[in-house]
C-alpha cells in the first residue's frame, strides 16, 4: 500500500470533486482537501468524505461467487467463475443467436471500461443488445442538445461561468442535496448581483436560496417553458438579430409557443401569471443568462421536447453560444457523460459516432481490426432491454448497475431478471441485483485503479490509483480480457482487450479521433499535468492517435488546448445554426383520476447516492438517512389522519410501497415525493412508470398517478 497522498477524484456524482487520498497504517484511507482542483476548490460533501469506507474488505466483495446446487452463492476461484460466465454467455448465443445475450453497463464506469465493454459486446459477443443506466440520467437532454446544437455535452461552458452570468433558471435540480459543492456557484451568482430562479414542485434546500421559486405541477415543465416563451414574444423581448443570424426554425417554434398564453399555462402548471411575468423580466434583463436542467424535466415521457422548449427560450433571447450565456444539463452520474460517448449506449460508437453511419462504422472497425459489416446495428434502449430479459434475451452480463432498485417498474424488472437463463454481475458489493446472479465477480473500485472520467463540464479527468486492491479482486478490464480469451480464443480476441487502462485509453483516442467527442489530443501525461482537458480536443495534424488535419485551429502540429466553451463562433450543425424545436404541451403518460388522484415524483437525498448500493453500507451516511420516506403536504396528511412518522402506503398501477410519512409544507398538496435509494417495501421505483420518451427512450420517473393510504403500525 502506498503511503503518500495521491491526488484523485470522488467516485460519486458528475462534479468529480478533487481530493487527496492517504493510506494509514491501520488500513484506513484518509481524505484531505485538494484545493487546486477548480470545480470544488477543496469542498466535499458527506459522501465524498466517507467514500473510502467502502474500500474496506468488511463491506465489499473479495472473492468470486457462484450459484451452488442448493441455490446459494458460494466462493469460487477466478478460473471457475470466468469459465461459468463464458459458458453461460456462449450457451445463449449458440442456442438463440448473438442478440440473445445482453450487456448492461453503468454511468460510474471509467471511460476505459465503458469503451472496452461496448467493444466486447459488439466484437466478442456480436450482440446489438447493449445499453446502460445512463439512459436513465440525461438522455433527454442529450437528444434535445443534439437536435438543437448538433452536439451534446452536459455543460457547454465550465461551472466557473455560472457566478458571472446575470440570471440562471435552474429547472428540476436540487444541487444542495445532489451535488452540494456546486451550490456555492449559485450562492456566488447572487452575491455578484445575479438572480436565481428555481423550477421545482418542492421547496427544496436549493429553492430556499432562490430569488423566485416556481412550483409547477409535476409533468408540466413543457407548458411552463412555452408560456415563458409566449411572454418573451408578446413583450417584444426576442433578440431578432440573433435569431436571424444564428438560428433556424423560429417561425414554427414561435407559432407553437403563441398557443400557450399565460392564463392557459397557469391552469396547466399552477404557476401564477404574475410569477410567469416576473420570471421573464428577470431572465431578459440586459445581461447574460443561462438555463440549466436536470432530471426533473428530463425524466418524462416528453423529456426531449421539454428540454427543447427550454433551449428555445435561450435561443429566442440570444442566450446561447455567447459568453456567460447558454443552455446546460447538470449530469448526475460520475461518468454519465463519458459513459455514453464511447460505446455503452445502444446506438453509439466511440467518439459519439452514430452506429448507423457507414463512415463511423468503417473508422471504428479499422481501429478494432474487424470488418465493418460484422458490427451489429443499434439495439434496445435500457428499459426495453431489461423488459426483454428472459424472453428474447436469455443471458445478461451486467457491470456497475443495480436495476432491481434503480429501474422504473422495478418489481417487473426484478421478475424479468429472475427469469434469465444466466446472469453474471461485476460489482464492488453484493447489490440487490448481484444477489440474483449465477456468478458474481468482485471488481476493483475508484481508488484501487487508474482511469479517466468525463465530468458534467465535459472535462476529462484522471482518477489515479491510490491503494492496492484486496487479494481476490480484479479490475473490469481484467474480467473482459479473461472472457475474451475464453469466448474468442480461436480469433485471438483477447489481444484487443488489454488490462492496462492507459493502453485502452490510447486505443480510445484513435477510435474517437474525428468524432464529435474527439479525445485524440488527450493523453494520460496531459491529464496528470493539467486539471483536466475539455473535449473536443483533436490531436495535432498527422500526430499518432489523431486523424490528419484533425487539429481545430492553430498551426499544424500544435497541441490543442481543449474546448472549455462551445458554440461561441458557430453551432455543430451542418450550417452552423442552432435549430428551434417546434414543440407543444402534452399531458404526462399517466394523469390522476378518481382511483389514483395524486402525483408521485421521486429524487435523491444528500446522504445517499443512486440505488444506494455503496452508500447504504456507510454507517455515517445511514445515520443521516436511514431509510425511505413519503413527503406529504399537511392537508393531505390531515385527510389521511397520518402523523409524522406514521407508515403510509403509496399505490400506483404497478405496485405498492410503504414508508414513514414526512409532513411538510414544502411540497404541493397534489403531490407526494419519495427518494429512490432503498430496496424492499419502501422501493420508490416499484411505483414509477416506464412510459418512454419517443426520442430519448427515457422512462417517466418523475411523474405518475398514485393514491396514498394509511397503514396500521
Task: Report helix, strand or coil for 409.
Answer: coil
3 state SS of 640:
helix
Per-residue model confidence as pLDDT tens digits over 498-508: 999 999 999 99
Name the grid cell of 382. 435500457
Residue 1 reports pLDDT greater than 80: no
The 3-state DSSP composition of the chain as helix, strand, coil percent (nearest 5) reads: 35, 20, 45
DSSP letter string, 329-355: E---STTHHHHHHTT-STTEETTTEET
Angle value at C-alpha 51, between 132 and 344, nearest 5 degrees: 15
At 242, the pLDDT band (50, 70, 90 cuts) reads very high
Q: Of the candidates 71, 94, 202, which has an alpha carbon nearest to the alpha carbon of residue 601?
A: 202
Give the 3-state secondary structure of residue 432: coil
Stated pTM of the model: 0.95
All structural domains of the chain: 6-55 (2.20.25.90), 65-136+335-496 (3.40.50.740), 139-332 (3.40.228.10), 598-710 (2.40.40.20)
pLDDT-based confidence at residue 3 (cuts at 50, 70, 90): low
CA 488 – CA 121 distance, rounded (Å): 12
User: Which residue in the block uniquely carries the three cell numbers 473479495?
Assistant: 62
Q: Are 675 and 608 in contact (CB under 8 A)?
A: yes
What average pLDDT does range 280-288 have in this prediction? 95
- Which stretch of DSSP H or E encloses residue 578? strand 578-579
State yes or no: pLDDT of 23 exceeds 60.
Answer: yes
Query: From CA 249, how far away is CA 533, in angstroms rounded?
Result: 34
No. of helices (H) and no. of strands (E), the chain? 23, 30
CB 507, CB 500: distance < 8 Å: no
The span from the CA of 643 to the CA of 202, in Å, is 20
Instruction: Look at residue 489 in the predicted model and tell me its pLDDT.
Output: 81
**Measured between alpha carbons, how far is 51 from 163 in angstroms, rounded to an integer?**
28
Give the model's confidence band at 34: pLDDT under 50 very low, under 70 low, under 90 confident, else very high. very high
CB within 8 Å of 633: residues ≥ 6 apart: 663, 664, 665, 667, 668, 669, 671
Question: What's the CA gap between 396 and 405, in Å, rounded?
Answer: 17
- The set of cell numbers assigned to 357 is 453511419
pLDDT of 552 strictly over 50: no
Q: Which residues contact 238 (CB under 8 A, 6 or more apart)?
A: 232, 316, 317
Q: For residue 315, what is its C-alpha cell? A: 435561443
Q: Mean pLDDT over residues 280-309, rounded?
A: 97
Can you tell me which residue has the cell 397534489? 670
Q: Which three three-digit cell numbers place residue 297?
A: 424535466
User: Please, are residues 406 and 698 in contact by the beta-carbon 8 Å criterion?
Assistant: no
What is the tens place of the pLDDT at every residue in 154-185? 999 999 999 999 999 999 999 999 999 999 99
**98-125 pLDDT, tens digit each:** 999 999 999 999 999 999 999 999 999 9
Can you spell out the DSSP letters for 280-312? HHHHTSSS-EEEEE-HHHHSSTTHHHHHHHHHH
pLDDT digits (tens, 9 = 90+) for 81-102: 999 999 999 999 999 999 999 9
d(CA 345, CA 381): 8
Range in 7-11, 254-258, 333-337, 617-621 with the lowest mean pLDDT? 333-337
| Res 558: pLDDT | 84
Whether residue 471 contacts residue 445, with contact meaning beta carbons closer than 8 Å, is answered with no
- pLDDT: which is higher, 303 or 331: 303
pLDDT of residue 551: 34
Q: Which three cell numbers stand for residue 224?
A: 411552463
Q: How far apart are CA 379 and CA 326, in angstroms?
A: 33
- In DSSP terms, 708 is beta-bridged to 650
If DSSP states are collapsed to H, E and C, what string results for 208-238? HHCCEEECCCCCCHHHHHHHHHHHHHHCCCC
Going by C-alpha positions, the residue among 697, 600, 699, 693 that lies closest to residue 653 is 600
Amino acid at each position: 500500500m502506498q503511503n503518500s497522498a495521491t491526488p484523485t477524484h470522488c467516485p460519486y456524482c458528475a462534479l468529480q470533486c478533487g481530493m487527496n487520498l492517504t493510506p494509514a497504517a491501520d488500513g484506513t484511507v484518509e481524505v484531505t482537501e485538494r484545493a487546486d482542483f477548480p470545480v470544488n476548490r477543496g469542498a466535499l460533501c458527506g459522501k465524498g468524505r466517507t467514500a473510502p469506507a467502502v474500500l474496506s474488505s468488511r463491506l465489499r466483495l473479495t472473492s468470486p461467487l457462484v450459484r451452488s446446487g442448493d441455490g446459494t452463492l458460494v466462493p469460487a476461484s477466478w478460473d471457475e467463475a470466468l469459465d461459468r460466465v463464458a459458458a453461460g454467455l456462449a450457451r445463449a448465443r449458440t442456442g438463440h443467436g448473438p442478440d440473445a445475450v445482453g450487456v448492461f453497463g453503468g454511468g460510474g464506469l471509467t471511460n476505459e471500461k465503458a469503451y472496452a465493454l461496448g467493444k466486447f459486446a459488439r466484437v466478442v459477443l456480436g450482440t446489438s443488445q447493449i445499453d446502460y443506466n445512463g439512459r436513465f440520467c440525461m438522455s433527454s437532454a442529450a437528444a434535445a442538445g443534439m437536435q438543437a446544437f448538433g452536439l451534446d455535452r452536459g455543460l457547454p461552458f465550465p461551472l466557473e461561468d455560472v457566478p458571472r452570468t446575470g440570471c440562471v433558471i435552474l429547472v428540476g435540480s436540487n444541487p444542495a442535496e445532489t451535488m452540494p459543492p456546486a451550490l456555492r456557484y449559485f450562492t456566488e451568482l447572487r452575491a455578484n448581483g445575479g438572480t436565481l430562479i428555481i423550477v421545482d414542485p418542492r421547496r427544496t434546500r436549493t429553492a430556499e436560496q432562490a430569488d423566485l421559486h416556481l412550483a409547477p405541477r409535476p409533468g408540466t415543465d413543457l407548458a411552463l417553458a412555452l408560456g415563458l416563451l409566449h411572454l418573451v414574444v408578446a413583450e417584444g423581448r426576442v433578440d431578432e438579430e440573433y435569431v436571424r443570424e444564428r438560428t433556424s426554425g423560429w417561425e414554427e417554434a414561435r407559432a407553437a409557443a403563441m398557443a400557450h398564453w399565460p392564463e392557459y399555462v397557469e391552469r396547466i402548471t399552477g404557476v401564477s401569471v404574475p410569477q410567469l411575468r416576473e420570471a421573464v423580466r428577470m431572465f431578459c434583463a440586459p445581461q447574460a443568462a443561462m438555463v440549466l436542467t436536470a432530471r426533473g424535466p428530463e425524466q418524462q415521457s416528453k423529456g426531449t421536447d421539454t428540454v427543447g422548449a427550454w433551449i428555445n427560450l435561450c435561443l429566442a433571447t440570444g442566450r446561447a453560444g455567447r459568453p456567460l450565456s447558454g443552455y446546460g444539463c447538470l449530469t448526475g452520474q460520475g461518468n454519465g457523460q463519458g459513459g455514453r460517448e464511447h460505446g455503452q449506449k445502444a446506438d453509439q460508437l466511440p467518439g459519439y459516432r452514430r452506429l448507423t453511419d457507414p463512415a463511423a462504422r468503417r473508422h471504428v472497425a479499422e481501429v478494432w481490426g474487424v470488418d465493418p459489416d460484422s458490427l451489429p446495428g443499434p439495439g434496445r434502449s435500457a428499459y426495453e432491454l431489461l423488459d426483454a430479459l428472459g424472453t428474447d434475451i436469455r443471458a445478461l452480463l451486467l457491470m456497475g448497475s443495480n436495476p432491481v432498485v434503480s429501474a422504473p417498474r422495478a418489481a417487473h424488472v426484478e421478475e424479468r431478471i429472475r427469469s434469465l437463463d444466466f446472469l453474471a454481475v461485476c460489482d464492488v458489493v453484493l447489490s440487490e441485483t448481484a444477489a440474483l446472479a449465477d456468478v458474481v465477480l468482485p471488481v476493483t473500485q475508484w481508488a484501487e485503479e487508474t482511469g479517466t472520467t468525463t465530468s458534467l463540464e465535459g472535462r476529462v479527468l484522471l482518477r489515479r490509483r491510490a491503494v492496492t486492491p484486496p487479494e481476490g479482486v480484479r479490475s473490469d478490464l481484467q474480467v473482459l480480457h479473461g472472457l475474451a480469451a475464453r469466448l474468442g480464443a480461436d480469433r485471438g480476441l483477447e489481444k484487443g482487450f488489454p488490462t492496462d487502462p492507459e493502453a485502452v485509453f490510447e486505443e480510445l483516442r484513435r477510435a474517437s479521433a474525428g468524432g464529435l467527442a474527439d479525445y485524440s489530443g488527450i493523453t494520460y501525461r496531459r491529464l496528470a499535468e493539467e486539471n483536466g482537458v475539455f473535449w473536443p480536443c483533436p490531436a495535432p495534424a498527422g500526430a499518432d492517435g489523431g486523424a490528419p488535419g484533425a487539429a481545430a485551429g492553430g498551426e499544424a502540429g500544435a497541441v490543442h488546448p481543449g474546448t472549455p466553451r462551445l458554440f461561441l463562433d458557430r453551432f455543430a450543425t451542418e450550417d452552423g445554426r442552432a435549430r428551434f424545436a417546434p414543440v407543444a404541451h402534452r399531458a404526462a403518460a399517466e394523469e390522476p383520476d378518481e382511483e389514483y388522484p395524486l402525483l408521485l415524483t421521486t429524487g435523491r437525498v444528500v446522504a445517499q447516492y443512486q440505488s444506494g448500493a455503496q452508500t447504504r453500507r456507510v454507517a455515517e451516511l445511514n445515520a443521516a438517512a436511514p431509510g425511505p420516506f413519503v413527503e406529504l403536504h399537511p392537508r393531505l396528511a390531515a385527510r389521511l389522519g397520518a402523523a409524522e412518522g406514521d407508515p403510509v402506503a403509496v399505490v400506483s398501477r404497478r405496485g405498492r410501497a410503504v414508508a414513514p410519512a414526512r409532513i411538510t409544507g414544502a411540497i404541493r398538496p397534489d403531490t407526494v415525493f419519495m427518494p429512490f435509494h432503498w430496496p424492499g417495501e419502501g422501493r420508490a421505483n416499484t411505483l414509477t412508470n416506464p412510459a418512454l420518451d419517443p426520442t430519448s427512450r427515457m422512462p417517466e420517473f418523475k411523474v405518475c398517478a398514485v393514491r396514498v393510504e394509511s397503514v396500521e403500525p
